[in-house]
A and B are shown apart, each in its own frame.
Chain A
Amino acid sequence: MMKEGVIITKISIKRQGERKHFQIKLPKDTKFIIGIEYGGRLISKSDAIKFAAAPKAAPTEELPKTEVIESVTVAVTIEERSKTFFKRNQLIGELKLQSSEESNWFYSTDVFGADANLKYGDFSNAGFNVNDYTHGNKRTEEIVKVDAESTIIQGWYLDALGKSQKVDINYEVTIYVWINVEE
């Protein structure tokens, strides 16, 4: 009988432009890796932070249970503009995962902050505040299939947030590796 489980790994980023290598050990009884998910949270920021991106950019990553820290909202006067233009999302960093067998590098992603374009194309002006939990897509893991003979997953995470702000930001990225376990 097959059971599903998840292995949670937390990567701590403290310096701007930091590249953190890590290894994730798969339990002995794993059959396959079946999915990958990621999330994160901000731990501390310096006062000098300015958000280079659009009005609603906030360094919170998308995950239902993430603690939301702060979102910087600019005054309503430019609302008209913000409805018509596609905003740039804040890139937090890049993540890549490698297995030890044939799959090699099997996962790669850009980690973004909250989606700043949830309100894109909404001309209703209904006054309903748009948020990840009201308008965002349901978050599920990305499906992969990697044989667990791999034993170890290697990977790295490269910071982009601190690098773009030119300041050391302390945050944590969480990687969820979904696995299939033989009972």
Chain B
Amino acid sequence: MTINLALEYIPRRMQELGYKADYYIRFRHLVLQPNEEQTIDAFNQFYYLVEEAENVRVESETGVFDLSESTTNEMQYEHQSKIHITNYLSGINHLRFIQVIPKHKIKTTIKK
């Protein structure tokens, strides 16, 4: 996803989900060590994969992004919950995300 597309896409998506404008947005540029695997806790958050992402696998409960994956018919750019990242390169690799963090709704009363 290009950053421009992400910036158009995110506000609409947040409206759809009911968060309106109550979210924080962060740009994350991860540096992955050779053959590194990591798991990111992204519960109640959204990570949008932007820019180039080669020789890397990003998998979460919403789908997988892996250009070398041949068994899927679609790549997923929006990730949630536990995100598993695998660097296939034996050198340093880079991965860019836009992280969207919906705010805790402490001030709103929720019917119990």
Contacts and interface: CB of A to CB of B under 8 A. Distances in A.
Interface of A: 25-26, 28, 30-31, 100, 148-149, 151-152, 154
Contacts of B102: 151
Contacts of A25: 41, 43
Interface in B10-53: 24, 26, 41, 43-44
A149 B101 contact: no
Interface string B78-112: 00000000000000000000000111101100000
24 contacts: A25-B41, A25-B43, A26-B104, A28-B44, A28-B104, A30-B104, A31-B106, A100-B24, A100-B101, A148-B104, A148-B106, A149-B103, A149-B104, A149-B106, A149-B107, A151-B24, A151-B101, A151-B102, A151-B103, A151-B104, A152-B24, A152-B26, A152-B101, A154-B26
Q: How big is the B interface, by class?
A: 10 to 19
Nearest to B41: A25
Summarize A's interface: helix, strand, loop or mixed.
mixed
Contacts of B41: 25
Nearest to A182: B106
A148 B24 CA distance: 13
The 7 closest A-B pairs by CB, nearest first: A100-B24, A151-B104, A152-B101, A28-B104, A151-B103, A151-B101, A149-B103
A108 B78 CA distance: 34
Nearest to B30: A21
A154 B27 CA distance: 12
B29 to A, nearest CB: 10
Contacts of A149: 103-104, 106-107
Contacts of A100: 24, 101
